[in-house]
Structure 1
């Protein structure tokens, strides 16, 4: 990418530029059949496949996953792992030499990976996405590997059964917290899905919480009416899950799985502080579902589990897959197909798309395939789960999803009563920094609104993204006619590809990989009334799917590749994409310094815990990749 960045109206070689774009449009042809109705690249070109550095980074969690599979079966590696390469990785032999090579320099890494085979890590990852790393079988729906006495299987006799599945993969912190009500509330503002909770000034008629319900977990003298009036009540409503997801049968065991659509109420005490849970109704119709409160013992734990199952579905299919991965797929395709490699915006955006097309393709053909993780572990039919992801994309509003607008719409901004909302506070810091970087970059190349209007490649890019979904667009994206429009659009794309994805992706190991804390389905039909610990255990997944969850999410939450604020190509020698000295030494240096300041601010707040009840690390700039690549 050594070409000087040039706007098309200033490029003397218009003919070559147009010819190159025609080639790119052919190479990045769009299909609407991979995930029905969603624009995706028909075939991932070689230059968009994972870099060697990414391949190396994925070996760390993959090595641990394979070692965990072996340890859980207590048999020799060669009985479970097919290729010689995989056996070496599981034993840690080749892996140690790879890590040594990584420390020695990128040239040696390239040589090592060339020796092993370019797609070794990618192939292993696809097996994890399909669950084949556990079955050892290319048909993930085959019964025999799952029913083998060597495979952990069957219903848990106690929580210890799930704990024992973590032999070589790291144990997540949630193992010590899953029963704690404060942790349950904290997940709404600092967990896997901090995107759904909203402030309310009236209770929905379908959720008849009373003063009696509220008083059980309230401070002395506090009332439901006062909390409503003072803006201290907050709601989760999984109506979208109930409207979209259809219950399913596990394709291996033939057991029925269920996906609830609960409603949950939380409150901030009148004296301030963090959210507290108030009440849960496990379905949308109060005629069929009673209200549970924290004093209800195991019935309350069951209700919390129902919320966590619904949240897992909403997280994975809506705010993770749908509204980061697939939205950025459309942005990446529009960029590849409409902006020349010489365009300044191409050079700005492509590092934010590194690996996105490839990882989305892997997910579509593995995770979302029959017998893949979604089919095996989540409650809905595969068709309804894909439909849920499709709704997440089709109902997305680009401008309404911008952090300040989103927090205002949900009545949960920093000016309100909810002080302990780490995701919001850290997201706004990064949003402001990214917005200032976008402003400086745009101002350097576009001296006036007339320059924006004269850029025909930008015009084509804008028209594509503001088109209907069926034509490669993004919902709510509006045509770009001036500086302000362009700055906001670029900021939102960069924020979504980096910070937003980091917030919903890297929580998966810490908060989602332990089945007693969160699972993709209820494995028994919901029953109202009093409950015992066994009634609650009956809702949890069989152990083979607990193992799959632990290993799969340790992979998704364990690969940090690229860094926000770095602009490199994805192929050796990983050259700089942005080279203009005025930008590198000016606006980019300012942006990078700003990220370091934010790192210090967040680290201080995580240490002092004045406004937050627990550290929140997912939006530390040093932990935020530039792109969606896992």
Structure 2
């Protein structure tokens, strides 16, 4: 269920898809076929799921990992924002105050990851199927990274999951109404956008004030430059108006909080059950007559665990909230501003997030929303704003801190 976030629509034209899903009248998605090899120029290599149930159950166990996507999309992409903000904006600058909670511990966790997780011969290479090519795949993912498309509405439209509709909530009409990530996500996105808008409009009364803020303009320039070969892309907003400032800051907050949470904290609830997503075993089959071969014969479960324990432990750690976590709508310093209007706006933001929590619980208990729970009775809570801490499969931390 957590991996439903990345589905894309398609028509009769097949293009490098792995699974073909059919949207049924009850709003659920029915798997029709799976692609077993690279597309042939004249043939479509799809096998009907109903025909080879046992064989496909083996094929579907092909391992994959989230980190090749997590690293460029969140961890690496957020670094230029953190660096530019700390270099160019005074701690008293309103945009610094707005974004500060969403950069908490991000540089620290990235440095830690480079030492033991994504380094050559590190934990990532030992547990996911690309091995030493894992980070090369990450760089390929980053080549397709476009800042404005990280906004949830733009992302849903790009993937064919929604169309613009001014009469619909949030200005979008979902093509799959029972799409938990989109339904909950649009509520969270709208709450963030309203908060950023109320806050920014208090400090910037006109577009001219945005243009005349030299520190702000220097911040945005360094932010773009920090994205290396993407710094001259025409899609970067110019941030010459309040609208551009609000849209850009909303995307930054969204990336660091809800977008990361929706991908990261469902790893263990889903992949902790190994048949769902086995990690890679690099241990060779033991030679007959050896001690390891005897163990495989007498206790195959133990032998299997030896090949998977590292992967399970890794995704458990990555899916766990720290004990001192601060979630969306919370701040670690109550005295972060003395201006009453921003404080009131932040209070409204927190109240709206609380309402969204109740709405998520209500929808998860309503049987008409079949995709929210599914056959295994595991409710979709990845965009439930708060958590008790630990391994809960819910909670939206302010920042990319794990």
TM-score when normalising by structure 2? 0.82
CA shift, 1:588, in A, is 0.9
Do residues 317 (structure 1) and 97 (structure 2) align? no
Question: In the alignment, is the contact (CA less than 8 A) between 2:257 and 2:396 conserved in 1?
Answer: yes
Question: In the alignment, is the contact (CA less than 8 A) between 2:151 and 2:251 conserved in 1?
Answer: yes
SS at match of 1:608: coil
Equivalent in the alignment of 1:264: 19
CA shift, 1:385, in A, is 1.3
CA shift, 1:410, in A, is 1.1
Question: In the alignment, is the contact (CA less than 8 A) between 1:466 and 1:479 conserved in 2?
Answer: no
Question: In the alignment, is the contact (CA less than 8 A) between 1:353 and 1:497 conserved in 2?
Answer: yes
Deviates more, 1:605-614 or 1:341-350: 605-614
SS at match of 1:278: strand
Distance 1:609 1:433 in 2: 26
Equivalent in the alignment of 1:479: 238
The 3 A distance-change label for structure 1 pair 611 and 545 is same
Question: In the alignment, is the contact (CA less than 8 A) between 1:348 and 1:577 conserved in 2?
Answer: no
Deviates more, 1:278-287 or 1:545-554: 278-287
The 3 A distance-change label for structure 1 pair 478 and 417 is closer
Question: In the alignment, is the contact (CA less than 8 A) between 2:279 and 2:308 conserved in 1?
Answer: no
Which stretches in structure 1 are left out of the alignment for 5+ residues?
Answer: 1-186, 208-236, 238-262, 525-537, 569-573
Equivalent in the alignment of 1:558: 320
The 3 A distance-change label for structure 1 pair 583 and 502 is same
Question: In the alignment, is the contact (CA less than 8 A) between 1:326 and 1:393 conserved in 2?
Answer: no
CA shift, 1:472, in A, is 8.6
Question: In the alignment, is the contact (CA less than 8 A) between 1:334 and 1:472 conserved in 2?
Answer: no
CA shift, 1:465, in A, is 2.5
The 3 A distance-change label for structure 1 pair 372 and 497 is same
Do residues 624 (structure 1) and 400 (structure 2) align? no
How many residues align? The count is 357
User: C-alpha offsets along residues 121-180 of structure 1, whole Å, 9 cap, x if unaligned?
Assistant: xxxxxxxxxxxxxxxxxxxxxxxxxxxxxxxxxxxxxxxxxxxxxxxxxxxxxxxxxxxx
CA shift, 1:545, in A, is 3.3
CA shift, 1:551, in A, is 1.4
Taking only aligned residues, the RMSD between alpha carbons, in angstroms, comes to: 2.5
Deviates more, 1:604-613 or 1:477-486: 604-613
Do residues 276 (structure 1) and 30 (structure 2) align? yes
Distance 1:325 1:618 in 2: 19
The 3 A distance-change label for structure 1 pair 359 and 297 is same
The 3 A distance-change label for structure 1 pair 303 and 371 is same
Equivalent in the alignment of 2:290: none
Equivalent in the alignment of 1:444: 202
CA shift, 1:606, in A, is 1.1
* 1:368-517 matches, cutoff 5 A: 368-382=118-132, 384-413=133-162, 415-467=173-225, 469-470=227-228, 473=231, 476-517=235-276
The 3 A distance-change label for structure 1 pair 276 and 290 is closer
CA shift, 1:543, in A, is 2.6
Distance 2:383 2:337 in 1: 24
Which stretches in structure 2 are left out of the alignment for 5+ residues?
Answer: 163-171, 284-299, 374-378, 387-394
Equivalent in the alignment of 1:579: 338
CA shift, 1:611, in A, is 2.1
Distance 2:318 2:71 in 1: 12
The 3 A distance-change label for structure 1 pair 381 and 550 is closer
User: C-alpha offsets along residues 456-499 of structure 1, whole Å, 9 cap, x if unaligned?
Assistant: 11101111233373279596432210000000001011111111
The 3 A distance-change label for structure 1 pair 364 and 472 is farther
User: C-alpha offsets along residues 231-253 of structure 1, whole Å, 9 cap, x if unaligned?
Assistant: xxxxxx3xxxxxxxxxxxxxxxx
TM-score when normalising by structure 1? 0.53
Distance 1:291 1:523 in 2: 29
Bigger Rg, which one: 1
The 3 A distance-change label for structure 1 pair 468 and 292 is farther
Distance 2:192 2:312 in 1: 34
Equivalent in the alignment of 2:369: 611
Distance 1:423 1:290 in 2: 28
